[in-house]
């Protein structure tokens, strides 16, 4: 069984004050069980000012997490905030690792996961996973490598994001250290109970017109219908200027034509050659269509997705795609506020994401790991 409690601080400039506020709220001296893990999320400047390192150093357990542009916990939501959720248990234990994601990342993942799995005779029940946002290596490429290395152990988590147009300060976090190019994982061992809920694009708001992906490289969309990605976008009314004002807001919908459900994909950047850097794999011969996301969709799916998990006790962790945050416009904390309203006194941590990691059951009911865009995903742990 896992118990949980959380804290949030806005002390971005004074590390000592931030540590005092977090420790007073968490009261680890009386709340901790035999094994504990911290999950952190924060605005990236909390790293620059040393607050993240100071708080993680002050906590007597490993911490994992990622930066965000808005977070919520303990009935508070803010952009300039840092939240910490503690999972603690006598029966369940935790182990963490940071894995460099660069050239040869698959070998790094194989080596790191082999070392982690050797730490216990038990097989982990679940991994909490925090991925870096890298233009040339998409989240589902990392997920596939981890999936192979662990033989399909469920993964839940997020990809780091930030408030910058180029996402240049998006970082993962491991024990106070921040990484631009490292995946951070926490293994949970023992009799943990978990459940997932998620929601993605409204199928009624996906255009019927389909195009064919004719050239790609991993998550980089190079050609559509024999033209460059940018030429295709301009042909359907999405100019370079339109895309540049809100990269990630125009949902691409990819159908692999293999019987699996179509997936949403965000555009994070355009290359000088007219290719599009996307939030997931863009395979040749898959079909492409355009979706739409609005504020009503965001807020309605937030409530409908969270409420089923609150029917039973447990800690709730939620991550919502930054595209959902961007369509809220000036109402930047509206979705986080909806979480607060619904969750009440239940322990929860919520943050924006650049890619959501959450399993789904296959036709036989077995959980299968997936990487999502334009999605809100929740996990309940108990």
Angle at 321 between CA 102 and CA 55, to 5 degrees: 70
Contact indicator for 293, 327 with CB cutoff of 8 Å:
yes
Collapsing DSSP to helix, strand or coil, 15 comes out as: helix
pLDDT at 49: 98
Collapsing DSSP to helix, strand or coil, 19 comes out as: helix
* φ and ψ of 197, to 5 deg: -140, 140
- Each of the 382 residues of the chain gets a pLDDT tens digit; together they read 899 999 999 999 999 999 999 999 999 999 999 999 999 999 999 999 999 999 999 999 999 999 999 999 999 999 999 999 999 999 999 999 999 999 899 999 999 999 988 888 899 999 999 999 998 888 989 999 999 999 999 999 999 999 988 889 999 999 999 999 999 999 999 999 999 998 877 766 777 788 999 999 888 999 999 999 999 988 888 777 766 655 566 788 888 777 666 778 888 788 889 998 887 888 899 999 887 778 888 888 888 899 999 999 999 999 999 988 988 888 999 999 999 999 999 999 999 999 999 998 877 888 989 898 888 999 999 9
Instruction: Write b or e for each residue in 308-328: b if 16 or more Cβ atoms lie within 10 A of its Cβ, otherwise e.
Output: ebbeeebbbbbbbbbbbbbbb
Rg (CA), the chain: 20
Rounded CA-CA distance 297/302 in Å is 8
**Separation in Å, CA 118 to CA 23, 124, 183:** 33, 11, 19
Domain range annotation of the chain: 3-199+296-381, 203-290
pLDDT at 53: 98
Beta bridge partners of 327: none
Predicted structure pTM score: 0.89
Q: What is the signed CA dihedral for 89, 71, 164, 133, rounded to 10 degrees?
A: 30
HSE of 275 in the Cβ direction (CA atoms, 13 Å)?
18
């Amino acid at each position: 069984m896992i118990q949980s409690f959380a804290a949030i601080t806005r002390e971005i400039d004074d590390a000592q004050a931030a540590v005092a506020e977090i420790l007073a709220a968490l009261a680890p001296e009386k709340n901790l069980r035999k094994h504990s893990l911290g999950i952190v999320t924060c605005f990236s400047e909390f790293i620059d000012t040393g607050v993240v390192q100071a708080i993680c150093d002050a906590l007597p357990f490993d911490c994992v997490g990622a930066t965000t542009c808005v977070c919520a916990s303990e009935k508070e939501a803010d952009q300039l905030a840092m939240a910490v959720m503690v999972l603690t248990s006598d029966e369940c234990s935790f182990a963490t690792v940071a894995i460099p994601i660069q050239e040869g990342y698959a070998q790094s993942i194989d080596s790191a996961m082999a070392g982690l799995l050797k730490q216990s005779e038990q097989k982990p029940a679940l991994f909490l996973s925090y991925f870096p946002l890298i233009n040339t290596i998409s989240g589902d490429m990392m997920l596939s490598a981890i999936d192979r290395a662990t033989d399909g152990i469920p993964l839940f988590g997020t990809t780091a994001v930030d408030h910058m147009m180029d996402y240049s300060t998006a970082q993962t976090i491991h024990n106070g250290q921040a990484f631009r190019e490292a995946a951070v994982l926490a293994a949970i061992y023992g009799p943990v109970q978990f459940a997932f809920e998620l929601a993605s694009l409204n199928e009624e708001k996906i255009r019927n017109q389909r195009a064919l992906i004719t050239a790609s490289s991993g998550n980089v969309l190079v050609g559509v219908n024999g033209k460059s990605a940018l030429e295709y976008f301009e042909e359907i009314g999405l100019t370079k200027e339109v895309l540049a004002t809100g990269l990630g807001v125009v949902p691409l919908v990819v159908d692999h034509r293999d019987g699996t459900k179509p997936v949403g994909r965000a555009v994070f950047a355009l290359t000088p050659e007219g290719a599009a850097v996307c939030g997931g794999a863009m395979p040749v011969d898959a079909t492409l269509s355009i979706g739409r996301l609005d504020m009503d969709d965001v807020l309605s799916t937030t409530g409908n997705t969270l409420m089923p998990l609150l029917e039973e006790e447990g800690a709730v962790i939620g991550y919502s795609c930054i595209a959902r945050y961007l369509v809220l416009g000036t109402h930047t904390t509206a979705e986080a506020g909806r979480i607060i309203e619904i969750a009440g006194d239940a322990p929860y941590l919520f943050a924006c994401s650049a890619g959501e990691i959450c399993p789904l059951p296959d036709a036989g009911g077995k959980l299968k790991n997936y990487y999502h865009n334009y999605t809100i995903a929740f996990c309940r742990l108990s």
